[in-house]
A and B are shown apart, each in its own frame.
Chain A
Amino acid sequence: MHLGVSESMRECEYSQISTRSSTPMETPYKKRTPKKKKWESFPGRNKFYCDGRIMMAKQTGVFYLTLVLILVTCGLFFTFDCPFLAQHLTPVIPVIGGVLFMFVLGTLLRTSFSDPGVLPRATADEAADLERQIDVANGSTGYRPPPRTKEVVINGQTVKLKYCFTCKIFRPPRASHCSLCDNCVERFDHHCPWVGNCVGRRNYRFFYMFILSLSFLTIFIFAFVITHIILRSHRSGFLNALKDSPASVLEVVVCFFSVWSIVGLSGFHTYLISSNQTTNEDIKGSWSSKRGKDNYNPYSHGNIFTNCCAALCGPLPPSLIDRRGFIQSDAPQLAPPTNGITMYGATQSQQSHMCDQDQCIQSTKFVLQAAATPLLQQQSSEPVILTASPENGGSLPGRTSLTLGGPCTSLPLSQPTPPTSTPSLSCHEATDMLPIHGHSHTHNHSHPLQEPVAHHHFLTPEEMPSPPGMLPCGSPLGHSHTVQAGFYNPASQDSLHEDSVRGLVKLSSV
């Protein structure tokens, strides 16, 4: 009977994989061969540990720094200050300190290791269906596809849903594509290098509790170390006190500098939670009344209490990416990602070794590639480029002349597109710090068109000094698009032309 079935299969030109898997003889054999788990071929730029249970961003250097700072400071506190304080004041102090410390560590690890709410990429069928719908909707004129946005009215406000070319989906509202992790994340807040992960729907509450408890811990340690030094100096003089307890000096210094940023950040996020906004939305001023009289936040529940409860105690959605599930052999969606990984691997090494000469060569390549393809309607495509590659982050050369009026050209304040570049800034700085960075950015680069070049140098987080958040301006995606450009599908055509323009820009700057 099986033979009969397989013959009819051949007539229908049906894929052979399924027929083989249906035979009972095959299945026991198949079970013995090691099946790959889904996290092993995950298309995003994430690192997985403990057989897929732990998920982090690719660059985790700063996370280890955070961990070391917390552990060392608390370790010194418990070792050098607590004995004195427990003896002379009350033993409750180390207990409270211990509880705070455990809470901070717990929430930090929870934030760093959990899935922020990554949206899995579209299957090949879904992507094809969407493309078909878009073609039908737009009459499929010419070869340049029109801007891919959908408008939706949510609670009376018109919201634009953008199409993500990497994930091949229309992003849900409030979702954004993180260029560092190369994933679309639901309710994307920002990518935080300090926790080594994106902050999104599923780990925002842990992130908030982390910074809140860290503020308390920092203030606690700061206060009691000062108390310790004061008490000691009453007995043996100030300098002797410092000599007896040198670790206290280090603790005071660390806490002093941390307090301002952490407490400021906690305050900022408290405001965000009470108004039910993401860092992304706040920075872009999406729901600010300055944009229009009728502009309001459609996601807010109306009052602060409900907003807070919803953000912190609401239901926790499960992970959508099923990291530890086994890959089904007849699942077509997993085929392209494995190519994606190697591509991104290549582009990663590519951009990490970029120097001026390489940029020059790359730029020339882009220009030649673009010249080889018919560049029809280049002018009308400007809006296309903007919306078509939102995840690319960096300001597009064609638009830089227009946007340079504002101080924050490297930041997406004036543009609708790159939400991913700013969020990591706000991770460790209050919003009033942003214009300063923007200013310094424009100050350093006199030629406006050098912006994209500057972004390249900021990319590897290992290099980053104070503003680690400036990195994710999407240039790795710019390169990954060039690799994809060889496939010549409509999505890559956009990126090809965008890259050619970038190439021209780089050529002029190098």
Chain B
Amino acid sequence: QASSMVAVGLALAAAGFAGRYAMQAMKQMEPQVKQALQSFPNTSAFCGFEPKMTKREAALILGVSPTANKNKIREAHRKLMVLNHPDRGGSPYIAAKINEAKDLMDGQARKQS
């Protein structure tokens, strides 16, 4: 029957559009979902390093308080570089992060004093 074929065809087309709309909606929601996850403090270990290092992340990397003084920062940096030195099997990327964390916190500490 021609009319039922038309109905089937229309149903398929509708399903196709619905599916495409759902996929596009999901793709648009991804950044929102990701932001929602990042707003929880405990999910800082859920992702990679922050695209631009913050003082908060620098303090976490060095394992010091965000208001640590220069001595504490230097101590933490030295200890972590010993553990993570690239010449001793450490990861250059991690070593770079440790250095960056120290530089960032040194910059902050200098501003405070």
Q: Do A and B bind?
A: no
* Residues in B lying within 8 Å of A, measured CB to CB: none
